[in-house]
Chain A
Amino acid sequence: MKILVAVKQVPERDAQIHVAADGKWIDEDDLSYTINEPDAYALEEALQLKEKNGGEVVVVCAGPERVTSTLREALAKGADRAIHIEADDLGERDTLGVARMLAEAVKGESPDLILTGLQSDDLGLGQTGVVLAELLGIPHATIIMQVEKTDLGLRVKRELEDGWFQHVEMPFPALLTIQSGGNKLRYATLMGIKKAKTKETATFSASAAGAKAVSLEKVYLPEKQKRTEMLTGTPAEIAAKLVEKLKFDVRVL
Chain B
Amino acid sequence: MSGVLVVLEQREGELNRMSLEAVAAGHLLAAKVGGECSAAMLSSGGGLKVGGVAKLYSVEHELLKDYTADGYCAVLEQLVKKLEPGYVLFPHTYQVRDFAPALATRFGQVLISDVVAMHDGDVGPVFVRQLLQGKLNADYRQTASGPCFVSVQAGSFRAEGEGSGAEAAVDVFVPELKPEQIRSKPGEPFRESAQTVDLSVAPVIVSVGRGIGEEGNIAMMQELADALGAELAASRPICDNGWLPMERQVGSSGQTVSPKLYLAVGISGAIQHLVGMKGSKAVIAINKDEHAPIFEVADFGVVGDLFEIVPELTKAVLAAKG
**Chain A interface (Cβ < 8 Å from any Cβ of B):** 11, 17, 19, 26, 94-96, 99, 118, 121-127, 130-131, 133-135, 139-143, 159-171, 180-181, 184, 211-222, 224-226, 228-232, 235-236, 238-240, 242-243, 245-247, 249-253
Cβ contacts under 8 Å, A216 to chain B: 138-140
Given contacts A96-B108, A231-B301, contact A164 B190 (CB under 8 A): yes
Cβ contacts under 8 Å, B137 to chain A: 219-222
Give complex CA distance A122, B94 in Å. Answer: 19
**Chain B interface (Cβ < 8 Å from any Cβ of A):** 69-70, 73, 93-94, 97-99, 101-102, 104-106, 108-114, 121, 126, 129-144, 183-192, 195, 203-204, 228, 236-237, 239-242, 246-247, 249, 252-256, 260-261, 281-282, 284-285, 291, 293, 295-304, 308-309, 312-313, 315-317, 320-321
Interchain CB contact under 8 A, A141 and B98: yes
Interchain CB contact under 8 A, A228 and B126: no
Interchain CB contact under 8 A, A230 and B143: no
Give complex CA distance A222, B213 in Å. Answer: 27
By beta carbon, the residue of chain A nearest B146 is A213
Interchain CB contact under 8 A, B261 and A246: yes
Query: Which 10 A-B pairs have CB atoms at the shortest separation, nearest pair first?
Result: A181-B240, A127-B101, A239-B312, A167-B187, A213-B144, A139-B183, A239-B316, A130-B101, A170-B184, A134-B102
Give complex CA distance A181, B253 in Å. Answer: 12
Interchain CB contact under 8 A, A240 and B316: yes
Interchain CB contact under 8 A, B131 and A214: no
Cβ contacts under 8 Å, A221 to chain B: 136-137, 291
- How near does chain B come to A144, taking the closest CB pair, in angstroms? 10
Interchain CB contact under 8 A, B304 and A253: no
- How near does chain A come to B6, taking the closest CB pair, in angstroms? 19
By beta carbon, the residue of chain B nearest A145 is B253
Cβ contacts under 8 Å, A140 to chain B: 69, 102
Interchain CB contact under 8 A, B261 and A163: no
Interchain CB contact under 8 A, A168 and B136: no
Give complex CA distance A221, B130 in Å. Answer: 10
Give complex CA distance A99, B190 in Å. Answer: 33
- How near does chain A come to B204, taking the closest CB pair, in angstroms? 5
Question: Of B70, B139, B143, B320, which one neighbours A139 at CB under 8 angstroms?
Answer: B70
- How near does chain B come to A219, taking the closest CB pair, in angstroms? 5
Cβ contacts under 8 Å, B204 to chain A: 252
- How near does chain A come to B63, taking the closest CB pair, in angstroms? 15
Question: Of B94, B140, B260, B301, which one neighbours A229 at CB under 8 angstroms?
Answer: B301
Question: Of A167, A219, A222, A250, which one neighbours B260 at CB under 8 angstroms?
Answer: A250
Given contacts A165-B191, A171-B183, A239-B313, contact A211 B301 (CB under 8 A): no
Of B184, B295, B301, B313, most buried by chain A (CB within 10 Å of CB) is B184
Interchain CB contact under 8 A, B132 and A17: yes
Give complex CA distance A214, B240 in Å. Answer: 34
By beta carbon, the residue of chain B nearest A253 is B320
Question: Of B109, B142, B143, B317, which one neighbours A253 at CB under 8 angstroms?
Answer: B317
Interchain CB contact under 8 A, A235 and B312: yes
Give complex CA distance A46, B140 in Å. Answer: 34
Cβ contacts under 8 Å, A228 to chain B: 285, 295-296, 298-301
Interchain CB contact under 8 A, B302 and A250: no
Cβ contacts under 8 Å, B252 to chain A: 161-162
By beta carbon, the residue of chain B nearest A95 is B110
By beta carbon, the residue of chain A nearest B136 is A219
Give complex CA distance A143, B98 in Å. Answer: 8
